[in-house]
Structure 1
Amino acid sequence: MGCYLAKFTFTGLDVIDLPPDTSSVYIIVLTWNNWEDTVVCLQSLQRLTYPIYQVVVVDNGSTDGTVTHIEHAYPEVHLIQNGRNLGFAAAANVGMRYAMMQRASYVLLLNNDAIAPPTLLDELIGYVTTLPDVGMATPPLSYRDASQTLWFAGSKRHWLTMESVDFGPIGPKRHSQADVCHPVDYIFGTAMLIPTSVLQRVGLFDEKLYLYYEDMDLSLRIQAAGYKLYYIPMTSVQHGVSGSTRSLSSMRHYHKARSSVIFFRKHTGWGRRLVIVPYRLASALRTVTRLGWASEWAAARAYLSGLKDGLRIEI
C-alpha cells in the first residue's frame, strides 16, 4: 500500500470515533533497525490464512536500511516512517490511529522479532468473538530458539506490589494454565489483540511511558473500564528473546527505571505506596549494586537518572 510519512504529532490518549469494519484486522509491527528480524516476521505474516488483514509497519527512524528492505520486498505492507525514534508507546499509537482511521475492527500489535503461526488470526478472532467483554487478548508466547519453550500464558498482578507475575519458562506445574482460556491481569505488547471499539473508549498508550510499562498501564485502564483480558490457548507466537537474560543497554536501564516510577505513581494511592516505595527502593538498590559489581557504571547512572526523572514527570 505504499509509504506514508508521519509528519504530524499524536497525543497518546486521544481517540478517533469511527465505526469499524467488522471483518478487518490491522497488524501493527514496530521497527527500529534490526531489519533481519523484521523480514522474518513479515515473511510469517505473508503466510496467514485469515481472509482480511493488513500489515502496517511503523518505522522509528531506522538507520540500517530497514525501510529500503521493506519497500523492495514487501510492497503490500503499509509503511509509516516516523523519521525519528518516538519510543514504543508513541510509535504504536501512530499505527493504531492509522488502523482506526481505516475502520479496522481489531488491531494486533506484534513485535518485529516475533514469528506468527499461519492460523494466528483465525484462532484469535475465533476465540474472542465468543467471549464476553473482551478488552484485549493474547496468544501463548514461546522462545524463538531450538527449545521453543513456552514462556508466557498471560500474567497475573501481585495483589500488593502490582508487579507482573506468572511469566517465564512454563514447566509441568504450569502447563494446565497454558491449556485453557482464562482471564489475566496483564498482557504484554509482544502480541496483543485489541478491539478498536475498546481503544475508542479507553484511549491508546500513554506516551509518557516511552519504553516499558506502557502495556501494563493499558491493561489496567482497560480493566478499569469494565473489560476483561484473556489468554487464548492456541498455537504459540515465537518471540525472539533468549531463554537467558539479555543485558540491557544504558538507554534501556534508564527507561525501565523512569517508566516504573511513572507507572506506580499513576496506579497507586498513598496507602499502597507505604508498601510499594520501600519495595521499589530495595529493588533499585539491588539493581544498582548488581550493575556496580559488573562494573556497568554507565548503566547504573542511567538507572538512577531514570528514577529521578520519573519523579519529575507530571501525571
Structure 2
Amino acid sequence: MISFSSNQRLLYAITLNWNRKEDTLACLSSFLEVRWPAGWEVRVLLVDNGSTDDTVTIVQAHFPQVEVLAHENNLGFARGANSGLRHALKQGADALFLFNNDTLFDPEMGAPLLESFQGKVAAVSPAIFYTDPPTAIWSVGGGRHPWTLEMTGNHGRSQPLPTHPFQTEFLTGCALLFRREALQEIGLFDEQFFMYYEDSDWSLRARQAGWALLVAPGARMWHKEAQSSGGVGSASERYQKGRASLQFFRKHAQRGQWLAIIPFRLASALKSSLQLARRGQSKALRAYWRGLWHGLRDEVHVEGVNCAP
C-alpha cells in the first residue's frame, strides 16, 4: 500500500487559463473556499497560456496568494498542464490537483477527495456536474471498449451516482487529483496532444501500468463545458477533437483492433457530420474534417512526446 508521509503533505492546485478572465476569477474564488483536512498545506498555481486579456495582472491583484506561471504563447492543454505539474513536483508536492478554470467547487470536497487515496491509486476525480442544470452529471469517469479503445458509459450520465468511491478505466482531465508517485512512474500528459484525448491517453497508460483510477462521489464540482475551445460544436472544438482522436488511435491501436476501430470511427464521423450539417454549422463541419485529415497525416510517436516529469 502506498501512503502519504505524515510530515510532508503538500497539495498543489493547478489551473490553466487562456483569455477567460471572468471564469478564472470565479474558479479561484470558489476553490479558495474549499476546506481541506488538517495536516495539508495547499498552494494554488495559475498557468497562463499567453492570455491577452490582462488575466495575470487581475489575478495577482485579487489573489496575491496564488502563484502564477505565465507563458508567452498558448501551449495547448497538455504542455500547459505539464508545465504546472513539473513546477509542483519540483516544489515537493505529494498530491497535485489539476482542474479546468471554468469550474466551481463544493466547499466540503477536500476530505472525500483526499480520503480516496488508498492503495495503488494513481488519480482521483470528483463527481463533476453541469452548471446548468447543477444536478445533472457531466462526468464520473467511464469504461473502455477493449477493441475500439473508446470510452464507454457516456461519463455515467444516465446512471445513478454511487455513494462510495469506485474504480473506472477513464478519468476526464477536467479535474484530476494525481499522486506524486504515479506521475513519476507513468509520466505526465503526452504533449503531442494539443487539446483533447490527452486524458484518455494518460488514463490508458495508468491502467496499463497497474494503477487504479477512482471517482470520489462525495467530492463534487461543477463544469461549464468546452469553454477553452470556443464552446461545444464550435469550429475550434470540432477541429481539435477530430485531430486528437486520430492521433490517439494511431498511437494505441494494435493490428487486430483496427478491424473494429475503422468502421466505428467512420460511423462516428458520419454521425457527427450529419449533426453539424443539420444545424447549419458548415464552418464547424469543415474544421472537423480538416482535424481528422491532420490527425491522419501528423507524425505520431508511440512512446509519447515530452512526458517525463
TM (normalized to structure 1)?
A: 0.86
Deviation at 1:146, TM superposition (A): 5.0
Identify the residue that residue 135 of structure 1 maps to in structure 2.
122
Identify the residue that residue 300 of structure 1 maps to in structure 2.
285
Q: Is the 8 A contact 1:26 1:104 kept in 2?
A: yes
Aligned residues: 289
Identify the residue that residue 35 of structure 2 maps to in structure 1.
49
Tell me if 1:162 matches 2:146: no
Identify the residue that residue 15 of structure 1 maps to in structure 2.
none
Q: Is the 8 A contact 2:97 2:178 kept in 1?
A: yes
Deviates most, 149-158 or 90-99: 149-158
Q: Is the 8 A contact 2:140 2:155 kept in 1?
A: no
Tell me if 1:37 matches 2:23: yes
Deviation at 1:65, TM superposition (A): 2.2
Structure 1: any 5+ residue segments left out of the alignment?
1-18
Aligned pair in 2 of structure 1 residues 93, 21: CA closer, same or farther (>3 Å)? farther
Measure the CA separation in 2 of the matches of 1:115 and 1:237: 6
Structure 2: any 5+ residue segments left out of the alignment?
302-309
Aligned pair in 2 of structure 1 residues 262, 200: CA closer, same or farther (>3 Å)? same
Measure the CA separation in 2 of the matches of 1:80 and 1:155: 32
Aligned pair in 2 of structure 1 residues 57, 297: CA closer, same or farther (>3 Å)? same
Identify the residue that residue 237 of structure 1 maps to in structure 2.
221
Q: Is the 8 A contact 1:20 1:100 kept in 2?
A: no
Q: Is the 8 A contact 1:149 1:169 kept in 2?
A: no
The CA RMSD measured in Å over matched residues stands at 2.0
Identify the residue that residue 10 of structure 1 maps to in structure 2.
none
2:89 to 100, 106, 112: 100
Deviation per residue, 1:232-277 (Å, 9 max, x gap): 12131111239xxx54221221110110001111111110101111
TM (normalized to structure 2)?
A: 0.88
Measure the CA separation in 2 of the matches of 1:22 and 1:150: 35
Measure the CA separation in 1 of the matches of 2:31 and 2:232: 29
Aligned pair in 2 of structure 1 residues 287, 20: CA closer, same or farther (>3 Å)? farther
Deviation at 1:279, TM superposition (A): 1.1
Q: Is the 8 A contact 1:21 1:105 kept in 2?
A: no
Identity of aligned residues (%): 37
Aligned pair in 2 of structure 1 residues 203, 140: CA closer, same or farther (>3 Å)? same
Identify the residue that residue 254 of structure 1 maps to in structure 2.
239
Q: Is the 8 A contact 1:153 1:178 kept in 2?
A: no
SS at match of 1:234: strand
Identify the residue that residue 203 of structure 1 maps to in structure 2.
187
SS at match of 2:79: helix
Q: Is the 8 A contact 1:153 1:167 kept in 2?
A: no
Q: Is the 8 A contact 2:240 2:291 kept in 1?
A: yes
2:98 to 87, 109, 120: 109
SS at match of 1:192: strand
2:57 to 47, 68, 83: 68
Measure the CA separation in 1 of the matches of 2:134 and 2:45: 30
Measure the CA separation in 1 of the matches of 2:262 and 2:156: 29
Measure the CA separation in 1 of the matches of 2:74 and 2:183: 23
